[in-house]
Amino acid sequence: MSVHAEFIKNISKKIKALFPDIRLIVGGIHPTSLLKKSIDEFEYVDIFVIGEGEITLLEILKNYKKEKIKGIAFKKGKKVITNLQREFIQNLDELPFPARNMLPSLENYKLGFDWEGRTPATTIFTSRGCPFNCIYCASKVMWKRKVRFRSAENVLKEIDFLVKKYKIREILFYDDHFTLNKKRLLEICEGLIKRKYDLTWCCLSRVDSIDFETAEVMKRAGCHMIPRLSSPPV
């Protein structure tokens, strides 16, 4: 993200000084929306991933020739090469769950908002994109206002795993707009109500996409808050 730009600039310089042969890769919303600026300011970064990164990164790690990999930009001498755009992954259920087992302990991490939820806590992305065009939000740049959803069954499967494996007690659904698909939302909530977990959660949403029925079911399923983001109102 753009707020991390100065850190990336400094840490990439230090890494290259210690390990000059290592290829540094940067992706996310900052290089996706501000590619020229990113290339200028991150002089020690070798490859910039534009847009959705899972397949792109996999191809980089498999040592494909850079010229053939979609969704990247890189320098070739003084020239900047920008490859073809990467297509979006259509079925998000095909993606594996995040490798949380590679973290030392989930209890070391907070949810990143100005409040303290219960611990252990974690975040889950259940969709990508938002159809709206809010002036302050970069989602439309990253996802082109196209929305893709994981199925309710797949989301509940990840929650089952988190509760049973890591004893998770708090979840932040970090989708741009978790309540957009009401039918899927109610399926997830009904699944949580049936499971009777000791689990609370919160999500991101818009005030014009929640009605009384939805809010009531969300509360019974464990939702206790829709956090305020540090962004201007719509």
Give the angle 223-117-147 at the CA atoms, nearest 5°.
50
Q: What are the CA-CA distances from residue 7 to residues 45, 57, 205 (Å)?
A: 13, 21, 30
Structure tokens at 2: 């753009």
55-83 confidence digits (pLDDT tens): 999 999 997 788 899 999 998 888 999 99
180-227 confidence digits (pLDDT tens): 999 999 999 999 999 999 999 999 998 888 999 999 999 999 999 887
Domain ranges of the chain: 2-82, 92-225
Computed over every residue of the chain, the mean pLDDT equals: 91
**CA 28 to CA 50: how far, in whole Å?**
7
Please name the helix (run of DSSP H) or strand (run of DSSP E) that holds residue 119, with its range, or none.
Answer: none
CATH number for the domain whose boundaries are 92-225: 3.30.750.210
Question: 74 or 109: which carries more pLDDT confidence?
Answer: 74
pLDDT of res. 118? 85
The answer to whether residue 177 scores a pLDDT higher than 90 is yes
Q: What is this structure's pTM?
A: 0.88
Tell me if residue 13 falls in helix, strand or coil.
Answer: helix
Tell me which residue has tokens 């769950």.
97
